[in-house]
A and B are shown apart, each in its own frame.
Chain A
Amino acid sequence: MSELVLKDLEIRYGKVTALDRLNLSIKDGELVTLLGPSGCGKTTTLRAVSGFLAPQGGDIFIGGRRITDIPPEKRGIGLVFQNYALWPHMTVFKNLAFGLEMRKIPAEEIKRRVAAVLASVQLSEYADRLPRQLSGGQQQRIALARAIVLEPDILLLDEPLSNLDALLREQMRFEIAAIHDRLGITTMYVTHDQTEAMVISDRIVIMRKGLVMQDGPPEEIYRRPANKFVAGFMGTTSFVPGAVVGVEGERCEIETAEGLRLVGLGSGLKLGDRACAAVRPEAVLLGKRGAEEPEGRGANRFEAVVQRSNFTGELVDYQLKVGSCFLRAKEPETRKVHGCGERVELRISAERLPIVADADAEPRAV
């Protein structure tokens, strides 16, 4: 068992608190992503776990063993860096063999293990190349291979895809997820890219200013954001502010200053609270006025005017005006395309409309 547990981890740089009593546990074999904007403490957390940063308070456990004071080389952690950090003066083979040599593993076994790992990242024929003779994507795979050839208890990846171009990045996401599924190494993945986090993770931990804002599976984070910060971070979101006028279980209704009423899902809200409806472009459906309602009871229906309509290929991107507020909508190009200035009716299913408190991202203790 190699469960990773962070307990009340506290790190300060001078007077700046980078991590404020962080509690986090990653189950054996789980892939957890730390997601957040730069400066949120995600990289700090990773460096503390890898042992290059000493925490001022709290503890780190791997499989129940306290490793807070153990030097990095004795933690049994595999690391993949943003800039790959392959050793430029060593061939691919030597890069992979280095860690095995450190463990005094016999040369024959080193050869066998390096060959096996190279095969698993489909780079067997590159063993004698120098890193700079490889493309970015290949270097990335070698960096990953170097970390997993040692069969570490924990794998840490620090924005491993951010130096790759968009197409390769998408492909590598699936590859990393596949390698993780095959090996089942407990993995902590750091990124600021929410799509990457959604694709790859068993669980996402959203951080901001050293605090955990939400911790949950990708779908839950997306569908039920715990606060305005999380709602805003997961994709393009338009916020419609108002006051809570009705609460019924999870259902929550708000009314804007102009008297517009929106029904959505929210929790922890009371009548009279300031709240926001987080409108996601992909949750908005457009139709002719008075057309039949496909969403059933509880769908929000508004009249809107198309301000802009951009054809982007697979999607049409609209900017809509409802009363005095602007909303974005994205519809597949297979649906009817509405032109600029057209009056439309927009519908948002209550199930797909999160309502969050309109505070400046009240930190939620987890």
Chain B
Amino acid sequence: MRSVLKKSGELALLVVVFLAVVGPMASLVIWSVAQKWYWPNLLPQEISFDYWRQALGLQTSMAIGAVSIVSAFLLSLGIALATVVASMAISIPAGYALAKYKIPFGTAIMFLFLLPNAFPQQPVFVNILRIFTKAGLAGTIPGVMLIHILVGLVFGVWITSATFRAIPPSLEEAARSVGASAFVAFYRIALPLAAPGLLSSAVFVFLTSLDEFTGTFFVGLPFVNTLPLTLYSSSGYNLQFASVIALILLVPSVVFMLLIQKVLKAEYVGGMG
């Protein structure tokens, strides 16, 4: 009797969790194909993939309020990838140095990277816009990228330095003692051991850039129109189109989460403990 109660309790919990996770996404899926959906119907009366076709640029009808988001998607993807490359190029050496060496004001430097995220974003970006306008960076892709790097560096540097700090110094010293230079010890020992942490930090930066709205809004508009900007500008009046964009934005996140999970399960990570 008890076990039956326990089992049904577990089942109920499972259903609740399932609904909490899948429910909102299911709603997005339904909305994205709802051609006609009026109260009091539980499900759309008419289903069509017009919004998807329109969004993916497979048709261009003026009848429904949706435009092709292909270019915005590619732009977002491109900016995100470039942001990752630039951020990691800064984060790996900076994180390594902060983790392994006694750097004057090391803690202060760490907080410096946190600073852009420690204040309300709007005033920060309004100020940056003034500076960028003077520098000719406002409304340009490099300008937007700089903003994304600024926001993403906190994940980059913090996660990277924590990763390097977790690697015992004796591992690299052992490599030095058998004849490896400081660089070879880093490249052959520290870097491969840090790879899972570096990858998750890169994914964080990527997803942050892909989703970044506020800074892009101030610095990028009207010339740089990323996917989140398209989403926000359409969400007020066109729930179908907004749902399509939201689902497309989910794709890279899910792909990367699966990738991380796979890498973090890789065999040698277990040996780091």
Chain A interface residues toward B at CB < 8 A:
50-52, 71-74, 77-79, 81-83, 85-89, 98-99, 102-103, 130-132, 146-147, 150
Contact = CB atoms under 8 A, between A and B. Distances in A.
A88 B175 contact: no
B270 interface: yes
B174 A85 contact: yes
B106 interface: no
B192 A89 contact: yes
Nearest to B189: A87
Contacts of B239: none
Given A85-B174, A87-B174, A88-B193, A99 B179 contact: yes
Contacts of A147: 177-178
B131 interface: no
Contact of A81 (B170, B182, B184): B170
Interface string B171-187: 10111111111101000
Contact of A130 (B176, B179, B192, B271): B271
Nearest to A156: B177
18 contacts: A50-B177, A52-B176, A71-B182, A73-B181, A78-B178, A79-B177, A81-B173, A83-B170, A87-B174, A89-B192, A89-B193, A98-B175, A99-B179, A99-B180, A103-B179, A130-B271, A131-B271, A146-B174
A88 B171 CA distance: 9
Contact of B176 (A72, A82, A83, A132): A72
B271 A132 contact: yes
Given A71-B182, A82-B170, A102-B180, 11 more contacts: A73-B177, A78-B178, A83-B168, A83-B170, A87-B171, A87-B189, A89-B271, A98-B188, A99-B179, A103-B179, A146-B178
A50 B176 CA distance: 10
Contacts of B176: 51-52, 71-73
Nearest to A95: B174
Contact of B168 (A74, A85, A102): A85
A102 B179 contact: yes
Given A130-B268, A132-B271, A85 B170 contact: yes
Nearest to B175: A98
Contacts of A98: 175, 178, 180, 188
B173 A85 contact: yes
Interface size of B as a range: 20 to 34
B196 to A, nearest CB: 11
Q: Interface on chain B toward A: helix, strand, loop, or mixed SS?
A: helix
A72 B177 contact: yes
Top 4 A-B pairs, shortest CB-CB distance: A99-B178, A88-B271, A102-B179, A85-B170
Contact of B173 (A79, A103, A132, A150): A79
A132 B271 CA distance: 6
A71 B181 CA distance: 9
Contacts of B181: 71, 73
Contact of B177 (A77, A83, A88, A131): A77
Nearest to A131: B271
Interface of B: 168, 170-171, 173-182, 184, 188-189, 192-193, 267-268, 270-272
A73 B180 contact: yes
Contacts of B268: 88-89, 130
Contacts of B184: 102
A129 to B, nearest CB: 11
Nearest to B195: A89
Contacts of A50: 173, 177
A73 B176 CA distance: 5
A72 B173 contact: yes
Nearest to A75: B177
Contacts of B188: 98
A28 to B, nearest CB: 20
B170 to A, nearest CB: 4
Contacts of A88: 193, 268, 271-272
A150 B182 CA distance: 19
A141 to B, nearest CB: 15
Nearest to A150: B178
Max chain B C-beta neighbours (<10 A), residue from A71, A89, A102: A89
A50 B177 CA distance: 7
Contacts of A74: 179
Nearest to A50: B177
A50 B173 CA distance: 9
Contacts of B168: 83, 85
A85 B173 CA distance: 9
A307 B193 CA distance: 58
A103 B188 CA distance: 15
Contacts of A103: 179
Nearest to B268: A89
A146 B176 CA distance: 13
Max chain A C-beta neighbours (<10 A), residue from B178, B179, B181: B178
Contacts of A83: 168, 170
B38 to A, nearest CB: 60
